[in-house]
Amino acid sequence: MNQLFAIQRKLDERILEDHNLNRREIHAEKMLALLVEIGELANETRCFKYWSQKPASDRDVIAEEYVDGLHFILSLGLDGGWEEVPEPGAASEAGTTEQFHRVYEAALRLKETFSKEYFLDLFKTYLALGYQLGFSKEDIEAAYLQKNEANHQRQEEGY
C-alpha cells in the first residue's frame, strides 16, 4: 500500500500546478473535503439510517466512496511528509456507526494538531473502517487505482 503515496503525489502535483496552488494554502479545504467524503461514505452504507429499510448501496459504490476518502488521507500524509502506512490493529469491536464516529474524531484531532501521530491514528482508524466494510487490502488498492485514474481523467476534462 506504500506505493499509493507516490501515485497520490502525481495527482496532487498535477492539481496544484493546474490550479496554481500550494499545499499549505489548501489545508483547511482538504480537511473539510475529507470530512465530507467520510459523510458520503456513511450515506452509502446507510449504517446510521435506523428509520429506513432500504439496503446499503452496491459494494462498488461503497468502495469508490471509501477510496475518495483515502485519496485525501494520503494527500494529508504527503503534506506532512509522512509516507507511512500504519500496521493494522486488532479487528474493531465497534459497530459500523461507532467506527465512523472514531474516524471523524481522528480526523478532527488531526485538524486541530497536524502531527504524524494523529495522521497515523486517522489512517489506521480509516483502514479499520475499510476492513469492517468488508474490503481487503487488495480490494482497497484496486479501487484506489481505478478511482485515481478517473480523477486524472476528470482533471483532463476540467472537472
Least confident of 23-37, 84-98, 110-124: 84-98
CA distance 73 to 14: 17
pLDDT of residue 140: 97
Chain center to CA of 124: 11
CATH number where 91 lies: 1.10.4010.10
> Residue 158 pLDDT > 80, yes or no?
no
- pLDDT over 90 percentage in the chain: 86
Copy the grid coordinates of residue 86: 500504519
**Which residue has better confidence, 157 or 68?**
68
Contacts of 2 (CB under 8 A, 6+ apart): 83, 84, 85
> How far is the C-alpha of 81 from the C-alpha of 60, rounded, in Å?
31
The arithmetic mean of pLDDT across residues 85-107, rounded, is 89
CB atoms near residue 108 (< 10 Å): 14
Residues of 41-73 as b/e, b for ≥16 C-beta within 10 angstroms? bbebbbbeeeeeeeeebeeeebbbbbbbbbbbb
pLDDT tens track for 27-59: 999 999 999 999 999 999 999 999 999 999 999
Number of domains in the chain: 1
Q: pTM of the entire structure?
A: 0.94
Question: Which residue bears the cell 459504490?
Answer: 61
Give the mean pLDDT of 72-76.
98
Q: Identify the domain containing residue 60 by its residue range.
A: 1-157
Q: How many helices (H) and strands (E) does the chain have?
A: 6, 0
Q: What was the pLDDT predicted at 143?
A: 96
- pLDDT band of residue 91 (cuts 50, 70, 90) is low
